[in-house]
């Protein structure tokens, strides 16, 4: 079936199996491979993307449910070769090891900072509670979010 969705500001169309998830449409049909597929059951957050401005697990959204909606993915963040400040902070804070969880983490962290420019550590941990990382032990990820916040002038 045909699904038309605005992805990162551009109308895109894909011919998908009706049972396909938004994740599979993004990756397999639209070639947007930044959104990762790991568990397909909502547990890991590596498929995090914005749907109408809210971060969701794209593996749990039927592609057909995104018809006519606004989708934003991790690819929207960098400006050409210039990384988004949250991406840069992840690099600088050493918050990336294997990198598999990173796009989902960056999406969740960016969403948090767009809503709350100076979050407490507790708010950071809460915002990232749906994103699993098997490498870092999370501390450096929290540090990265704080670093991004302080560079943006949020943190004191």
Binding site for another protein (CB under 8 A): 1, 17-19, 21, 40-43, 45, 48, 54-57, 59-62, 64-65, 67, 108, 126-127, 129-131
**Of 45, 122, 128, which is closest to residue 86 (Cα–Cα)?**
128
CB of 16 vs another protein, minimal distance in Å = 10
Decide if residue 129 touches ligand FAD (CB under 6 A).
Answer: no
From the list 46, 99, 107, 115, the residue with the least C-alpha distance to 73 is 107
Q: Which of 135, 151, 154, 155 binds ligand FES (CB under 6 A)?
A: 135
CA 144 to chain centre: 15
CB of 153 to ligand FES, least distance (A): 28
CA distance linking residue 67 with residue 3, whole number of Å: 5
Helix H or strand E encompassing 71: strand 70-72
Q: Out of 43, 52, 67, 126, point to the residue binding ligand FAD (CB under 6 A).
A: 43
CB of 44 to ligand FAD, least distance (A): 9
Q: Which of 5, 24, 46, 110 binds ligand FES (CB under 6 A)?
A: 46
1 token code pair: 């079936």
Residues 6+ apart with CB under 8 A from 29: 14, 15, 16
DSSP state of 58: G
Q: Is 41 in the site for ligand FAD (CB under 6 A)?
A: yes
Q: Which does 1 bind (CB under 5 to 8 A by kind): ligand FES, another protein, ligand FAD, none?
A: another protein
């Amino acid at each position: 079936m045909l699904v038309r969705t605005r992805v990162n500001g551009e109308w895109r169309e894909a011919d998908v199996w009706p049972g396909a998830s938004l994740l599979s449409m993004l990756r397999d049909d639209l070639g947007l491979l930044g959104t990762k597929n790991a568990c397909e059951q909502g547990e890991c957050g590596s498929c995090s993307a914005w749907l109408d401005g809210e971060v969701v697990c794209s593996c749990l959204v039927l592609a057909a449910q995104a018809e006519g909606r606004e989708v934003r993915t991790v690819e929207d963040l960098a400006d050409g070769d210039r990384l988004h400040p949250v991406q840069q902070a992840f690099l600088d804070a050493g918050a990336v090891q294997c990198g598999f969880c990173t796009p989902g983490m960056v999406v969740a962290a960016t969403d948090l900072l767009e809503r709350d420019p100076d979050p407490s550590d507790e708010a950071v941990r809460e915002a990232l509670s749906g994103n699993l990382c098997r490498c870092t032990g999370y501390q450096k990820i929290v540090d990265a979010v704080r670093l991004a916040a302080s560079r943006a002038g949020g943190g004191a």
